[in-house]
Amino acid sequence: MATETKNWESLGKSKLSSINNSIPNKWRISSIPSVEEQRDVTGPFIQKLLSKNEVEITETDAVGIVEKTSTGKWTAEEVATAFCHRASLAHQLTNCLHEIFFDAAIEDAKKLDKFYAEHNKPVGPLHGLPVSLKDQFHVKGVETTMGYIGWIGTFMGKKGTGKEKVFESEMVKELRALGAILYCKTSVPHTLMAGETVNNIIGYTTNPKNRNLSCGGSSGGEGALISLRGSPVGFGTDIGGSIRIPAAFNGLYGIRPSSGRLPYEGMANSMDGQNSVLSVVGPLSHSLRSLRLVVKSLLSQQPWLHDPLVHEIPWRDDQEKQMLDIIDNGELAFGIMKDDGVIHPHPPVRRAMDMAARTLKKLGHHVIEWKPPGHERGAEILVEVWKSDGGADIHGSIGLSGEPLAAQVADIYGTGVTEQANASKIAALNIAKREFQKEYMEYWNSTVDLTGTGRPVDAFIIPSAPFAAARPRKFKYLGYSGILNTLDYTCCIVPVTTVDKRLDVVDKDFKPFNEQDKDIAADYDPEVYDGAHVAVQLVGRRLQEEKVLALAEHLGDALKVIDLDE
């Protein structure tokens, strides 16, 4: 029995070998230190494995890269090669990749260089910019497994569709048209429904800043890869925090746009067709301005002409300018919610929230306590939506191979299909969601009387999660991120600091709200967490991407330069 390998296991191993074999020998790391030896593999650790030129290229942000590639200072090929190299290292350190197609990337880069040589101009605003993609995007030449063994060698679990390795998602086409270079697809928890990244193909994706911890999920591979600067900017998706959790856990900016702003058309998904709460697609990056670059560029492609769910809302310079004018010449107002009344944030998250609030006050802005209605109810609605098909979709995909469901997902979906909601129940859920949104919106409107600016708050700030990052198997609460999916608000992760075990000590006088709160508080250990990234979420109303990006940049920049002890 011990020697017998199950079919799903051998399929998974074979796929893993194929992924790992795509890494050129010259880029292999001979030996990887243990977590105890080397907790943090970002920065100096990974830099030592690269040439000086490669470090310079890969530590330039997306805006900086296209400045160089669009003026002939760097070739697309040298940029692509540097990122392929660094992504290879990142994968070896964290298991962050599902698909590697470096050869195609270099070929594409050469074509861009040829174009530039002939025309002396870039093909588009993302000329030669490497962009990584979560393994939900279909890209020609490679497959999409979404971590499912049963999807290997198929098109989303089906054989003979004619789409295998040929079909491309809408946004992939648009990124190519803009001049982006696609070179890898990143790891996800199978099913996508987890705050950690684990599946039976690549195993577990760790957090490169603190390898005791998870990189987050479900866009976890993006988080780990970008954290290690194996990508300047990448795209994830979010139906409960799946862009924001990996962004927060990896010290990145990450925006969850409202549904209908960026094109999801033609992507793989879990529970596709469930439209009570829509999953959305959005970018993660080290720099805020890189997010703006790719969002603005994508909107220039008029995605509403190719995706029926995208609204005709181009990038609005006037809205951005209006916000920048207030930033430069006026006073802003922010709501601050230190906890949601259900789960207390861990000490480092409390400190980060405090730093954000104090920074905004030092900038001369107004800060009010954010006391909105029913966060607990909002999160419950989300979980009910997730469970509406009784797990039929995910158990269907898991069942294709007979692989075991990851424990992190089984926490929500159990081990088999349960009863489905019917049309009346789904309608009631949609009404509950709409009523919650309406109530929250009117609370927001009501803050006009409290801010002192003559406007309701411009944004509010809440923790990204109760923890700086999750310890493996301990991502236990999604209320802080999930509530914003129910509300469909635009929100952006802003990195604040890192855990400092001397400052972020266990609170001995802690009084839990409830048993779960007590349980989650017990997961905090300053020794384990030391060094991990800590972030906050900045939240705007629906479809306010321009404003939210401007405000997130304002706060993020200020956090870097303002001395709170002065």
DSSP string, 321-342: HHHHHHHHHS--EEEE-S--SS
Say which of 242, 279, 397, 401 is annotated catalytic. Answer: 242
Q: Would you say 199 and 111 are in contact if contact means Cβ atoms under 8 Å apart?
A: no
Question: What single-letter DSSP state applies at residue 99?
Answer: E
Give the shortest CB-447-to-a second copy separation in angstroms: 12
Q: Of the candidates 167, 304, 443, 513, which one interacts with a second copy according to CB under 8 A?
A: 304
Give the shortest CB-420-to-a second copy separation in angstroms: 4
Q: Of the candidates 44, 160, 162, 308, which one interacts with a second copy according to CB under 8 A?
A: 308
CB-based burial of residue 10 (10 Å sphere; 0-12 exposed, 13-18 middle, 19+ buried)? exposed
Q: Of the candidates 20, 430, 453, 516, which one interacts with a second copy according to CB under 8 A?
A: 430
CB-based burial of residue 300 (10 Å sphere; 0-12 exposed, 13-18 middle, 19+ buried)? middle
Residue 260 found at the interface with a second copy (CB under 8 A)? yes
- The span of 183-191, 197-205, 207-215, 438-446 binding a second copy (CB under 8 A) equals 438-446
**Could you tell me the two tokens for 47?**
């830099």
- The span of 4-12, 141-149, 181-189, 264-272 binding a second copy (CB under 8 A) equals 264-272
C-beta of 336 vs 543, nearer to a second copy: 543
Give the shortest CB-547-to-a second copy separation in angstroms: 10
Question: What single-letter DSSP state applies at residue 470?
Answer: P
Residue 171 found at the interface with a second copy (CB under 8 A)? no
The residues in 266-295 that bind a second copy, with binding defined as CB under 8 A, are: 271-276
What is the C-alpha to C-alpha distance for residues 454 and 436, in angstroms, rounded to an integer?
25
CB-based burial of residue 329 (10 Å sphere; 0-12 exposed, 13-18 middle, 19+ buried)? exposed
**Could you tell me the two tokens for 115?**
């174009």
C-beta of 103 vs 419, nearer to a second copy: 419
The residues in 481-540 that bind a second copy, with binding defined as CB under 8 A, are: 488
* Total binding residues toward a second copy, as defined by CB under 8 A: 44
**259 tagged catalytic:** no
DSSP string, 513-538: SSHHHHHHHHT--HHHHTT-EEEEEE
**387 tagged catalytic:** no
C-beta of 427 vs 503, nearer to a second copy: 427
Q: Would you say 264 and 242 are in contact if contact means Cβ atoms under 8 Å apart?
A: no
Give the shortest CB-543-to-a second copy separation in angstroms: 5
**270 tagged catalytic:** no
Q: Of the candidates 1, 2, 423, 561, which one interacts with a second copy according to CB under 8 A?
A: 423
Give the shortest CB-251-to-a second copy separation in angstroms: 31
Q: Would you say 263 and 307 are in contact if contact means Cβ atoms under 8 Å apart?
A: yes
x/- map, 388-407, a second copy, by CB under 8 A: xxx-xx--------------
Give the shortest CB-542-to-a second copy separation in angstroms: 7
C-beta of 371 vs 438, nearer to a second copy: 438
What is the C-alpha to C-alpha distance for residues 162 and 158, in angstroms, rounded to an integer?
10
Q: Would you say 217 and 246 are in contact if contact means Cβ atoms under 8 Å apart?
A: yes
Q: Of the candidates 164, 265, 411, 523, which one interacts with a second copy according to CB under 8 A?
A: 265
Strands across the sheet with 366-369, in order?
A: 97-100, 181-186, 130-134, 233-238, 280-285, 253-256, 491-498, 533-539, 459-463, 333-336, 366-369
Buried b (16+ CB within 10 A) or exposed e, 11-30: bbeebbeebbebbeeebeee
What is the C-alpha to C-alpha distance for residues 101 and 104, in angstroms, rounded to an integer?
6
- The span of 14-22, 226-234, 305-313, 473-481 binding a second copy (CB under 8 A) equals 305-313
Per the DSSP assignment, residues forming a β-bridge with 236 are 282
x/- map, 331-370, a second copy, by CB under 8 A: ----------------------------------------
C-beta of 107 vs 435, nearer to a second copy: 435
Q: Of the candidates 85, 134, 476, 541, which one interacts with a second copy according to CB under 8 A?
A: 541
Beta-strand relationship, 130-134 and 181-186: parallel
Say which of 134, 185, 209, 387 is annotated catalytic. Answer: 134
x/- map, 195-224, a second copy, by CB under 8 A: ------------------------------
Say which of 218, 258, 290, 401 is annotated catalytic. Answer: 218
C-beta of 115 vs 167, nearer to a second copy: 167
Give the shortest CB-515-to-a second copy separation in angstroms: 31
Q: Of the candidates 177, 313, 400, 412, which one interacts with a second copy according to CB under 8 A?
A: 313
Residue 445 found at the interface with a second copy (CB under 8 A)? yes
Residue 448 found at the interface with a second copy (CB under 8 A)? no
How far is C-alpha 519 from the geometric centre of its chain's CA atoms? Answer: 26
**Could you tell me the two tokens for 3?**
């020697």
Q: Of the candidates 305, 407, 503, 564, which one interacts with a second copy according to CB under 8 A?
A: 305
C-beta of 200 vs 486, nearer to a second copy: 486
Q: Would you say 216 and 223 are in contact if contact means Cβ atoms under 8 Å apart?
A: yes
**Dihedral angle sign, alpha carbons of residues 256, 498, 345, 203:** positive
Residue with tokens 């949609």: 430
Question: In this structure, which long-range contacts are made by residues 31-34, counting pairs with CB atoms below 8 Å and at least 24 apart in sequence?
Answer: 32/92, 32/93
Active site residues: 134, 218, 242
- Binding site residues, a second copy, CB under 8 A: 260, 265, 271-276, 304-309, 311-313, 388-390, 392-393, 420-424, 426-431, 434, 437-438, 441-442, 445, 488, 541-544
